Structure 1
Amino acid sequence: MNEKKVNPTNENSRRSFIKNSSLAAAGFFIVPRHVLGRGFVAPSDKLLIAGIGAGGKGESDINSFYKSGKAEIAYLVDVDDRRAATTVKRFPKAKYYKDWRVLFEKEAKNFDAVSVSTPDHNHAAPTLAAMQLGKHVYVQKPLTHDIYEARVLTDAARRYKVVTQMGNQGASGDGTRQLKDWYEAGLIGDVHTIYSWTDRPVWPQGLQWPTGKAEVPKELDWDLWLGTAPYKDYVDKLVPFNWRGWWDYGTGALGDMGCHMLEPAFRVLDLKYARDVQASVGSVYVDEFKRGYFPESFPPSSHVTLTFPKTAKTKGDVTVHWMDGGIQPTRPDELGPNEVFGDGGNGTLFIGTKGKMMCGTYGTNPQLLPTTLTKTTQVKQVDKRVPGSAEGHYAQWVEACIAGHGKMEVSSPFEVAGPLTELLLMANLAIRAHDIRKPAENNRFTYPGRGLKLVWDNNQMKVTNFDEVNQWVKREYRQGWSLKA
Structure 2
Amino acid sequence: MEENKNSRREFIKGAALAAAGFMIVPRHVLGGAGFIAPSDKLVIAGIGAGGKGQSDIANFYKSGKAEIAYLCDVDDRRAATSVKNFPKAKYYKDYREMLDKEHKHIDAVSISTPDHNHAIQSVAAIQLDKHVYVQKPLAHDVWEARVLTDLAKKHKVVTQMGNQGSSNDGPREIKEWVEAGLIGDVHTVYCWTDRPVWPSGIAWPKETAPVPKELDWDLWLGTAPRKDYIEKLVPFNWRGWWDYGTGALGDMGCHLLEVPFSVLGLQYVQDVQATVGTVYVDEFKRGYNPESCPPSSHVTMTFPKTPKTTGPVTLHWMDGGIQPTRPDELGPNEIFGDGGNGILLIGSKGKILADTYGENARLLPTSRKEQVEQKYDRVPGKSEGHYGQWVEACLAGYGNKEVSAPFEISGPLTEALLMANLAIRGADLRIDGNYPGRNLKLLWDNNQMKVTNFDVVNQFVKREYPQGWDVKYSL
Please, what TM-score do these two structures have when normalized by structure 1? 0.90
**Residue 219 of structure 1 is aligned with which of 199, 214, 234?**
214
- Is the CA contact (8 Å cut-off) linking 1:438 and 1:446 kept in structure 2? yes
Give the unaligned 5+ runs of structure 2.
13-37
- Is the CA contact (8 Å cut-off) linking 1:49 and 1:71 kept in structure 2? yes
Cα distance in 2 between the residues matched to 1:438 and 1:397: 46
2:370 counterpart of 1:375: yes
Q: CA deviation at 1:37?
A: 6.8
- Is the CA contact (8 Å cut-off) linking 1:50 and 1:73 kept in structure 2? yes
**Aligned amino acid, residue 216 of structure 1:** V
Distance 1:41 1:286, change over 3 A: farther
2:382 counterpart of 1:386: yes
**Residue 178 of structure 2 is aligned with which of 174, 183, 189?**
183
2:111 counterpart of 1:116: yes
**Residue 52 of structure 2 is aligned with which of 46, 51, 57?**
57
Instruction: Give 3-state SS (helix, strand or coil) of 2:69's partner.
Output: strand
Q: Which residue of 2 aligns with 1:251?
A: 246
Cα distance in 1 between the residues matched to 2:147 and 2:375: 39
Q: CA deviation at 1:447?
A: 1.4
2:445 counterpart of 1:450: no
Q: Which residue of 2 aligns with 1:94?
A: 89
Instruction: Give 3-state SS (helix, strand or coil) of 1:44's partner.
Output: helix
Q: Which residue of 2 aligns with 1:410?
A: 403
Deviation string, structure 1 residues 59-103 (Cα, Å, up to 9, x no partner): 000010000111010000000000000110000000000000000
Deviation string, structure 1 residues 313-372 (Cα, Å, up to 9, x no partner): 110110000000000000101110010111111000000000000111111111111111
- Is the CA contact (8 Å cut-off) linking 2:83 and 2:91 kept in structure 1? yes
Deviation string, structure 1 residues 211-245 (Cα, Å, up to 9, x no partner): 01110000000000000000000000100000000
Cα distance in 2 between the residues matched to 1:311 and 1:107: 44
Deviation string, structure 1 residues 90-136 (Cα, Å, up to 9, x no partner): 00000000000000110001110000000000000111111111100
Tell me the C-alpha RMSD between the 2 structures: 1.5
- Is the CA contact (8 Å cut-off) linking 2:169 and 2:379 kept in structure 1? no
**Aligned amino acid, residue 262 of structure 1:** L
Cα distance in 2 between the residues matched to 1:164 and 1:40: 26
**Aligned amino acid, residue 454 of structure 1:** L
| Length, aligned pairs only | 447
Cα distance in 2 between the residues matched to 1:413 and 1:245: 27
**Aligned amino acid, residue 200 of structure 1:** R
Q: Which residue of 2 aligns with 1:299?
A: 294
**Aligned amino acid, residue 459 of structure 2:** Q
Instruction: Give 3-state SS (helix, strand or coil) of 1:118's partner.
Output: coil
Q: Which residue of 1 aligns with 2:428?
A: 435
2:447 counterpart of 1:459: yes
Q: CA deviation at 1:395?
A: 0.2
- Is the CA contact (8 Å cut-off) linking 1:33 and 1:404 kept in structure 2? no
Q: Which residue of 1 aligns with 2:416?
A: 423
Q: Which residue of 2 aligns with 1:14?
A: none
Cα distance in 1 between the residues matched to 2:8 and 2:259: 37
Give the unaligned 5+ runs of structure 1.
1-30, 440-444
Cα distance in 2 between the residues matched to 1:247 and 1:306: 21
Q: Which residue of 1 aligns with 2:457?
A: 469
Q: Which residue of 1 aligns with 2:16?
A: none
Q: CA deviation at 1:434?
A: 2.0
Distance 1:162 1:35, change over 3 A: farther
Cα distance in 1 between the residues matched to 2:8 and 2:176: 37
Distance 1:161 1:211, change over 3 A: same
Cα distance in 1 between the residues matched to 2:380 and 2:202: 45
Cα distance in 2 between the residues matched to 1:414 and 1:34: 24
**Residue 349 of structure 2 is aligned with which of 350, 354, 377?**
354
Cα distance in 2 between the residues matched to 1:37 and 1:176: 39
Matches within 5 A, 1:241-390: 241-377=236-372, 378-381=374-377, 385-387=381-383
**Aligned amino acid, residue 189 of structure 2:** I
**Aligned amino acid, residue 406 of structure 1:** G
Distance 1:40 1:274, change over 3 A: farther
Q: CA deviation at 1:436?
A: 1.8
Cα distance in 2 between the residues matched to 1:456 and 1:252: 21
Q: CA deviation at 1:253?
A: 0.2
Q: Which residue of 2 aligns with 1:236?
A: 231
Q: CA deviation at 1:44?
A: 1.2
- Is the CA contact (8 Å cut-off) linking 2:209 and 2:231 kept in structure 1? yes
Cα distance in 2 between the residues matched to 1:436 and 1:41: 61
Cα distance in 2 between the residues matched to 1:50 and 1:348: 35
- Is the CA contact (8 Å cut-off) linking 1:32 and 1:112 kept in structure 2? no
- Is the CA contact (8 Å cut-off) linking 2:9 and 2:39 kept in structure 1? no
Instruction: Give 3-state SS (helix, strand or coil) of 1:351's partner.
Output: strand
Cα distance in 2 between the residues matched to 1:418 and 1:173: 19
Deviation string, structure 1 residues 175-218 (Cα, Å, up to 9, x no partner): 00000000001100000000000000010001000001110000
- Is the CA contact (8 Å cut-off) linking 2:288 and 2:430 kept in structure 1? no
Cα distance in 2 between the residues matched to 1:413 and 1:383: 20
Cα distance in 2 between the residues matched to 1:308 and 1:375: 32
**Residue 130 of structure 1 is aligned with which of 125, 133, 137?**
125
Q: Which residue of 2 aligns with 1:18?
A: none
- Is the CA contact (8 Å cut-off) linking 1:185 and 1:379 kept in structure 2? no
2:78 counterpart of 1:83: yes
Please, what TM-score do these two structures have when normalized by structure 2? 0.92
**Aligned amino acid, residue 281 of structure 1:** V
